[in-house]
Every structure is written in structure tokens, then in C-alpha cells.
């Protein structure tokens, strides 16, 4: 289990299908289907939450504001600033468990000893992009949502990285990769954090299990001759870490060699000391 380290975020407790979380000074309770235990809620902050996300029986849900929460507030990690919002579908615009992958990318880029070009596919609000920029890389950030790309730009500005070498692109990731191949463009590192299901800007349907192999295949020709790493993340329960490791291994090692590792990523629960699994990551690294 690879566990993220934070100061501004804390998973305080888990019980009865919900998380109690501290995002800076804001306390939120949100549902999590993996929390199947009904343990005592001894932490008094369960009753002090500023907002509670309530699921609807018909799908989706809504935020119940229990105290005043700013429309936008900031938290910080490793000198980066992330702007948060209470969004639909229980989200805040940040997946804190991914900090362990941001840290890995920063370390690899800083130790490379050469200029590094990174492609961040399904870049969302830009946390991985910011981490790579801060480490000295040039980044191409691609996401199908115009709103998410704009949010990523705002995070970059708040982090003092607006002038770093980055391209912000609203595009379907699969079509973008195909065009980059035709253009002869190459990247030293690829970060891929695809959704389980989604739609592109032109209504294109994305289903991870059906299309992941094809997308990874199309990424191979745009890797540089001496790539640094390929990082694949998934929240789809049907894709175990071992499956993702096998996928990257059989596709990348014949051409580039290197090593492939995988594992669950998670967040430490302060009340118990145990770790809540939050997804899976496979990393192929070279050199």
C-alpha cells in the first residue's frame, strides 16, 4: 500500500459508509462505498462538519451546508496551492491520495539530469501537472472538460507556476494521442489517470476496460527513445493493480526494458491508523 502524506488534508475517521475529512480548516463528510463497517463515531468532529454530501436514491446527490463554507478555498501541498469547491457527485476538485504519485513524479523528474517532457492525459484540475512543472519539467495537460482545464490554470496561477512551460488543451485524449503520433511528437513521461466512464467534448464515449489497452498502445509510439516513466492510475474496481502491472509490462518492456511495479494507493485514517484503499497505480520506469 502506497500512502499519501499531507498536512492540509486529513482523513479523520470512517464509519457507516462515510468519510470524515479535514480539508484545511473545512470539515466534510462524504459517502464512500468501500466503508462497510459500522464502528463507533467517537470523534466529536462528526457533529461539527461544515458540509455533508447526501446521496439521492435516484442517483447523484447534493451537499447539505451545515455551516458557511466559502465557494472556493485553498489548501497546500509541497509548495503548491489547490483551489477547492464543493462540486456535484461529492467531489472537491482534488484526489488527495494521488499525492503519493505526484511525489514520485517530482523525484524522478528532478533526478533525471536532463529536460523532461511530460504528457498528462485526463489531467483534471492539474495537480499532477503542477507537481511536474514544479520539478522542472515541461508539460502538456489534456482534458476533455473546458471547465477542468480552466480550473487547472487557476491552480497553476495560485501556485506561482503560470509562466512555466505548459500547454493547456481541451481535447479527447485518444484523438489527441493519435494526432501527436502523426505529428511526430514525443514525451519522456506519460501520466494517465482515466475515468471509469466518461464522454469527450464531441460526445465520444469512454469505457476504461474496453479502451485502455488501445490507448496505451497508441501512447507507445509517442514515448521518447529513452523514456523516464509511464504512470497509470485507476479507480475501477475491476482493474486490479496486478492487471495494470501486467498490461504495462507486456506492452512496454519488450521495447523499453525497465521495471514495472503496482499497488494500491490510500489514505491513513487518523482514528485507527489503518489505511483506506483509494485506487490502484501501476508504474513502468526506465533508466
- Give the phi and the psi of residue 58 in degrees, each rounded to 5: -95, 5
287 pLDDT band, cuts 50/70/90, is confident
- pLDDT score recorded for residue 200: 63
Angle at 75 between CA 50 and CA 166, to 5 degrees: 135
For residue range 7-50, list pLDDT tens digits in order: 999 999 999 999 999 999 999 999 999 999 999 999 999 999 99
d(CA 212, CA 192): 10
206 pLDDT band, cuts 50/70/90, is low
Q: Which residue has the cell 464502528?
A: 39
d(CA 135, CA 282): 21
pTM of the model: 0.95
Bridge pairing between strands 166-170 and 138-143: parallel
Mean pLDDT over 207-234 rounds to: 94
Average pLDDT of the chain is: 95
125 pLDDT band, cuts 50/70/90, is very high
Q: What is the dihedral of CA 22, 25, 29, 30, to 10 degrees?
A: -70
Mean pLDDT over 51-59 rounds to: 89
Sign of the C-alpha dihedral computed for residues 202, 205, 208 and 214 taken in this order: negative
Neighbour-count burial for 78-101, b at 16+ CB within 10 Å, e otherwise: bebbbbbbbeeebebbbbbbbbbb
Cβ count within 10 A of residue 207: 13
Q: Can you give the residue ranges of every domain in the chain?
A: 1-82, 94-283
* Radius of gyration of the CA atoms of the chain, in A: 19
* Region 1-82: CATH code: 2.60.40.1180
- Give the phi and the psi of residue 2 in degrees, each rounded to 5: -100, 125
* Region 94-283: CATH code: 3.40.50.150
Amino acid at each position: 500500500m502506497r500512502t499519501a502524506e499531507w498536512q492540509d488534508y486529513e482523513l479523520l475517521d470512517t464509519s457507516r459508509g462515510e468519510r470524515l475529512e479535514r480539508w484545511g480548516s473545512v470539515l466534510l463528510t462524504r459517502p464512500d462505498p468501500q466503508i462497510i463497517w459500522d464502528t463507533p463515531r467517537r470523534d466529536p468532529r462528526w457533529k461539527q462538519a461544515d458540509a455533508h454530501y447526501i446521496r439521492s436514491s435516484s442517483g447523484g446527490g447534493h451537499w447539505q451546508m451545515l455551516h458557511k463554507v466559502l465557494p472556493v478555498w485553498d489548501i497546500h501541498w509541497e509548495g503548491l496551492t489547490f483551489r477547492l469547491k464543493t462540486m456535484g457527485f461529492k467531489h472537491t476538485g482534488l484526489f488527495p491520495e494521488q499525492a503519493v504519485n505526484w511525489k514520485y513524479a517530482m523525484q524522478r523528474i528532478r533526478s533525471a539530469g536532463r529536460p523532461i517532457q511530460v504528457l498528462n492525459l485526463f489531467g483534471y484540475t492539474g495537480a499532477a501537472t503542477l507537481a511536474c512543472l514544479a520539478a522542472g519539467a515541461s508539460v502538456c495537460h489534456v482534458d476533455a472538460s473546458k471547465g477542468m482545464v480552466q480550473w487547472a490554470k487557476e491552480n497553476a496561477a495560485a501556485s506561482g507556476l503560470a509562466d512555466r512551460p505548459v500547454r493547456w488543451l481541451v481535447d479527447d485524449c485518444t484523438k489527441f494521442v493519435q494526432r501527436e503520433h502523426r505529428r511526430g511528437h514525443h514525451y519522456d513521461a506519460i501520466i494517465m489517470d482515466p475515468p471509469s466512464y466518461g464522454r469527450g467534448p464531441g460526445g465520444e464515449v469512454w469505457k476504461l476496460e474496453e479502451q485502455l489497452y488501445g490507448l496505451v498502445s497508441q501512447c507507445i509510439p509517442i514515448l521518447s527513445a529513452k523514456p523516464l516513466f509511464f504512470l497509470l492510475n485507476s479507480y475501477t474496481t475491476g482493474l486490479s493493480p496486478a492487471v495494470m502491472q501486467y498490461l504495462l509490462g507486456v506492452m512496454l518492456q519488450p521495447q523499453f526494458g525497465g521495471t514495472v511495479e503496482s499497488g494500491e494507493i490510500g489514505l491513513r485514517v487518523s482514528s485507527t491508523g489503518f489505511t483506506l484503499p483509494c485506487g490502484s497505480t501501476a508504474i513502468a520506469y526506465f533508466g
